[in-house]
Structure 1
Amino acid sequence: MTNIESVPSEALFQRVSERESKVGIIGMGYVGLPLAVAAFDAGFSIFGFDVDPSKIESINNGVSPIGRIGNAKIQAMRDAKRFEVTSEFSNLAECDVVIICVPTPLNKYREPDLSYVVDTTRSIASNLRPGQIISLESTTYPGTTRDVMRPILEEGGLKSGEDFFLAYSPEREDPGNPDFHTASIPKVVGGDGQAASRIAEAFYGAVVDIVVPVASCEVAEAVKLTENIFRSVNIALVNELKVIYDRMGINVWEVIDAAKTKPFGFMPFYPGPGLGGHCIPIDPFYLTWKAREYHVPTRFIELAGEINTNAPYLVVDQLMESLSTHRKKCMAEARILMLGVAYKRNVEDTRESPAFSLIEEIETRGGVVDFHDPYVAVVPHMREHENMSGRESIDLTAENVSGYDAVLVCTDHDGVDYKMVGDAAKLIVDTRNVMAKFDKGAATVVRA
């Protein structure tokens, strides 16, 4: 009879199933930290890994870097002695389950930048031992887990599917959405072989309510891209409809709100000043890049990207026209107050926010821009728009608002006194249709 401890897959499956495994999560950001909370709640002990010393210190002192996760929860996890964050990757050897939640941005040529995944995989390889499962959650193109990560992990002689196990399970976080959290969102899981799939399903099945198994890592990787390409294409469509209907004097938001009363065959998407967040502006280009290898054109996806990328410039054009028409001012003489720089309402996340493209374009044309954001007191360091880092949010008072030539609504956070803004502003250019929900006051409101 075979000793279960001599079969790495069976021993690991048993430890995972009985919650005896220690879980290592690399990247304590908007994906990794909520996953750590869910895994902790499921009974696992967690090692969090990050390269940001300030984030490590903050979490280990019981202070959450993410608004949706309270300090009390982090402190409770620390007090239970089942959660520690470190930069020492040698501690990965203690972990049976290793989850990768690192950025996968684009480079300046809009090609995939897998440097974070590759560097992280090399760190794991240096500490790899038999009986571990490694799961990638970062968005990427089909084939990354098997073709990029596996060869690096196998350099030391251990084999995937025999000694260690590989899986892909795309993150599905929706920051700012109070209706869903990590454990309540179904989790797609694909493994590199049957043993990896079985172990990954056992782990994620312990952490989330519903696991959706698929045939392979490649299928799971394609699922994530498909979800966000669907959103990108539909947002591009309504951004184009906005331009058409605006020329016709038709309110596109009213059209969409009426159309969504149809109980079948229609899903509402809304226009805006451009795409934001780490997923929708980036993910489609991972597939278009990979498709070139197969000589397949991606005209539809690339057209959507073109429309969405151009959206901020159309907003600035509308702002410039509105200043001329309603304020008799040119952009070079204008002071603009931007409401919101986070990429979506009610979050502090500024990744890929269209606000910074708007600011840069306005300032390139000679305008001066300040901003107010109740969630972003200071603009953090960003890989792009480095000149924006350190800018501070101003107080939103009637006196301050009245001092600007126009208010540009970029992010429609709840809790902002839009009534006061409407009363105090001279001109409002509204990219989110938020002013339609409030008494507009004395200001001229232009939809953009």
Structure 2
Amino acid sequence: MMKICMVGTGYVGLVTGACFADMGNEVWCVDVDEVKITNLKAAILPIYEPGLKELVERNLKEGRLRFTTEIKLGIEDALLCFITVGTPPCEDGSADLSYIFSAAQAIGQCMNHYLIVVTKSTVPVGTTEKVRDIIRQELKVSAREHVGFDVVSNPEFLKEGAAVEDFMRPDRVVIGTENIGTAELMKQLYKPFVRNQNPILIMDTKSAEMTKYAANVMLAARISFMNEIAQLCDIVGGDITNIRTGIAADHRIGRQFLYAGAGYGGSCFPKDVKELINLGYKNGLEMAIATAVHEVNERQKHYLVDMIRKRFGEKLDGMRFGVWGLAFKPQTDDMREAPSLVIVQSLINMGAKIVAFDPQAIKEAQQVFEDYADHIQYVGDMMEAVNDADALILITDWRQFRQPDFSDMKSRMRQLVLFDGRNQYDFEQIEKYGFEYYCIGRNYRGK
């Protein structure tokens, strides 16, 4: 059993802290937001993530997971302190590290015993060294240079919607440290999570920091590449689903992240792609592939809007569009960089009325689309969204959208038009019910 402090109770901090607690460790989660901490003490979570609420409730009840606003209480007697605060993008695309540095400063001001400080947040190369310098300076100012510490890079690789499973059974654990003793302690911490023999990789801190960016940009590149091929298919012919099957059979390529759609979003891919571009720029290197990945993705978010414009024209006054899915992906309520932001705002600006349903993201969407409140109606049932609709737009591929009752939809809709942003449906099945069907990269109704 180890005592662990998590600084930050957002997506990464809460999942990480709850999972560590579930393995028998004593975990204190610290956040400056008093309302959030009060809610967490009552197992009221700020995010939706499958399995997380049950994990928090169980470990709260059994006394292994605790929440506080006092960082001094959190690190008292702790061996490890994880920094899991946000690193949102600045206007130039670079990561805002102010929360990281504030956390490091607070840790340095409070610690009075040996502590391993772990940067778990996604941070640019060199940040771990800066965190070390900040803590060292705080100890020097208060004449506590004798207090020992080490700083480790331990990037997270969690997929929203499957974060608990990813943490409990990681593909790999990356640990950046030059200290052999610290590396052994980190291995001991993660040993219960790698019983299936997946590797714990020890490397230098800069390599660990870069590994996270390289992994996310590589995955984003696969998505953008497939979306670009899909657009070409709509022009010259071909079916992206057949193409995906054909290239996925090549063991050098594999099956993951090869689905064409309305573009990627969320808190990781967009931010990390832009940060890598910015890091290259600051160091005199044009990151041409990462730049193209970003540009293709931004273009893809407008692709469904272009289809709708081609079908209905530039002015959509008096028209009603049902929307299925607002979150950037299923199994989450995260709206950050979601394709729905571009699609919904564009249609409203063209005069449309939106009736939207999402199983988890409606509360978040109401805040994001606050300025468009007069033009959006949120409903609690997917079929309500299609009532009197001139078209249905599928944006997020929640499972419950995969086999809808097309007969019921037909009786409810004003016009039988369906824009499928995730290629969920079969042409022949749709046509049997009389729907006009538009999808991505399957050359159906063309471009």
Fold agreement, TM-score > 0.5: yes
Q: Return the alpha-carbon distance in structure 2 between the equivalents of residues 385 and 377 of structure 1.
A: 10
Residues 1:198 and 2:184 are matched in the alignment: yes
Select 2:310's aligned residue among 315, 321, 326. 321
Select 1:350's aligned residue among 311, 331, 335. 335
Question: Which residue matches 1:372?
Answer: 357
Q: Return the alpha-carbon distance in structure 2 between the equivalents of residues 378 and 181 of structure 1.
A: 26
Select 2:239's aligned residue among 237, 246, 251. 251
Give the drift of 1:192: 4.8
Does structure 2 retain, via aligned residues, the 8 Å contact 1:25–1:48?
A: yes
Name which of structure 1's ranges 219-228 and 285-294 shifts more when overlaid on structure 2.
285-294
Residues 1:433 and 2:423 are matched in the alignment: yes
Select 1:213's aligned residue among 201, 208, 212. 201
Q: Return the alpha-carbon distance in structure 1 between the equivalents of residues 396 and 306 of structure 2.
A: 18
Q: TM-score, normalised by structure 2?
A: 0.86
Name which of structure 1's ranges 153-162 and 392-401 shifts more when overlaid on structure 2.
153-162
Give the drift of 1:228: 0.6
Q: Return the alpha-carbon distance in structure 2 between the equivalents of residues 437 and 344 of structure 1.
A: 24
Select 1:228's aligned residue among 216, 237, 259. 216
Residues 1:275 and 2:293 are matched in the alignment: no
Does structure 2 retain, via aligned residues, the 8 Å contact 1:130–1:163?
A: yes
Question: Which residue matches 2:443?
Answer: none
Question: Which residue matches 1:387?
Answer: 371
**Partner-residue secondary structure (3-state), 1:84:** strand
Does structure 2 retain, via aligned residues, the 8 Å contact 1:140–1:283?
A: no
Question: Which residue matches 2:439?
Answer: 447
Question: Which residue matches 2:85?
Answer: 102
Identity of aligned residues (%): 21
**Partner-residue secondary structure (3-state), 1:105:** coil
Q: Aligned in 2, Cα 1:32/1:208: closer, same or farther, shift over 3 Å?
A: farther
Q: Aligned in 2, Cα 1:379/1:101: closer, same or farther, shift over 3 Å?
A: same
Does structure 1 retain, via aligned residues, the 8 Å contact 2:160–2:332?
A: yes
1:374-422: CA deviation from partner (whole Å, max 9, x where unpaired) = 122322587x766369976313365651312111111010123523475
Give the drift of 1:218: 0.7
Name which of structure 1's ranges 135-144 and 174-183 shifts more when overlaid on structure 2.
174-183
Give the drift of 1:370: 2.6
Equivalent residues, number: 423
Aligned amino acid, residue 81 of structure 1: G
1:157-200: CA deviation from partner (whole Å, max 9, x where unpaired) = 36999810100111111222399331210211112533433333
Aligned amino acid, residue 58 of structure 1: N
Q: Aligned in 2, Cα 1:105/1:222: closer, same or farther, shift over 3 Å?
A: same
Does structure 2 retain, via aligned residues, the 8 Å contact 1:346–1:414?
A: no
Name which of structure 1's ranges 412-421 and 228-237 shifts more when overlaid on structure 2.
412-421
Q: Aligned in 2, Cα 1:200/1:387: closer, same or farther, shift over 3 Å?
A: farther
Give the drift of 1:109: 2.4
Q: Aligned in 2, Cα 1:410/1:296: closer, same or farther, shift over 3 Å?
A: same
Q: Return the alpha-carbon distance in structure 2 between the equivalents of residues 122 and 386 of structure 1.
A: 36
Give the drift of 1:89: 1.8
Residues 1:284 and 2:268 are matched in the alignment: no
**Partner-residue secondary structure (3-state), 2:81:** strand
Q: Return the alpha-carbon distance in structure 1 between the equivalents of residues 409 and 218 of structure 2.
A: 35
Q: Return the alpha-carbon distance in structure 1 between the equivalents of residues 377 and 110 of structure 2.
A: 42
Does structure 1 retain, via aligned residues, the 8 Å contact 2:280–2:286?
A: yes
Select 2:225's aligned residue among 231, 237, 252. 237
Residues 1:125 and 2:108 are matched in the alignment: yes
**Partner-residue secondary structure (3-state), 2:40:** helix
Q: Aligned in 2, Cα 1:181/1:273: closer, same or farther, shift over 3 Å?
A: same
Give the drift of 1:357: 1.9
Q: TM-score, normalised by structure 1?
A: 0.86
Give the drift of 1:201: 2.8
Matches within 5 A, 1:27-66: 27-65=8-46, 66=48
**Partner-residue secondary structure (3-state), 1:435:** coil
Q: Return the alpha-carbon distance in structure 2 between the equivalents of residues 388 and 270 of structure 1.
A: 31
Question: Which residue matches 2:5?
Answer: 24
Does structure 1 retain, via aligned residues, the 8 Å contact 2:329–2:396?
A: yes
**Partner-residue secondary structure (3-state), 1:341:** coil
Give the drift of 1:208: 4.8
Aligned amino acid, residue 173 of structure 1: L
Does structure 2 retain, via aligned residues, the 8 Å contact 1:201–1:211?
A: no
Does structure 2 retain, via aligned residues, the 8 Å contact 1:245–1:252?
A: yes
**Partner-residue secondary structure (3-state), 2:95:** coil
Aligned amino acid, residue 142 of structure 1: V
RMSD: 2.8
Name which of structure 1's ranges 216-225 and 154-163 shifts more when overlaid on structure 2.
154-163
Matches within 5 A, 1:381-420: 387=371, 393-396=378-381, 398=383, 400-416=385-401, 418-420=404-406
1:68-111: CA deviation from partner (whole Å, max 9, x where unpaired) = 13544323212222211112222133122111112212122222
Q: Which residues of structure 1 form unaligned runs of 5+?
A: 1-18
Question: Which residue matches 1:116?
Answer: 99
**Partner-residue secondary structure (3-state), 2:102:** helix
Aligned amino acid, residue 59 of structure 1: L
Does structure 2 retain, via aligned residues, the 8 Å contact 1:340–1:410?
A: yes
Aligned amino acid, residue 283 of structure 1: D
Aligned amino acid, residue 429 of structure 2: D
Residues 1:307 and 2:296 are matched in the alignment: yes
Q: Return the alpha-carbon distance in structure 2 between the equivalents of residues 380 and 265 of structure 1.
A: 36
Q: Aligned in 2, Cα 1:392/1:199: closer, same or farther, shift over 3 Å?
A: farther
Give the drift of 1:264: 4.3
Matches within 5 A, 1:129-144: 129-144=112-127
Q: Return the alpha-carbon distance in structure 2 between the equivalents of residues 433 and 333 of structure 1.
A: 28
Q: Return the alpha-carbon distance in structure 2 between the equivalents of residues 372 and 445 of structure 1.
A: 20
**Larger relative contact order, structure 1 or 2 (CA cutoff 8 Å, min sep 6):** 2
Does structure 2 retain, via aligned residues, the 8 Å contact 1:341–1:353?
A: yes
Q: Return the alpha-carbon distance in structure 2 between the equivalents of residues 437 and 249 of structure 1.
A: 15
Name which of structure 1's ranges 247-256 and 387-396 shifts more when overlaid on structure 2.
387-396
Name which of structure 1's ranges 184-193 and 296-305 shifts more when overlaid on structure 2.
184-193
Aligned amino acid, residue 445 of structure 1: Y
Q: Return the alpha-carbon distance in structure 2 between the equivalents of residues 252 and 161 of structure 1.
A: 62
Aligned amino acid, residue 387 of structure 1: D
Q: Aligned in 2, Cα 1:245/1:375: closer, same or farther, shift over 3 Å?
A: same
Residues 1:331 and 2:323 are matched in the alignment: no
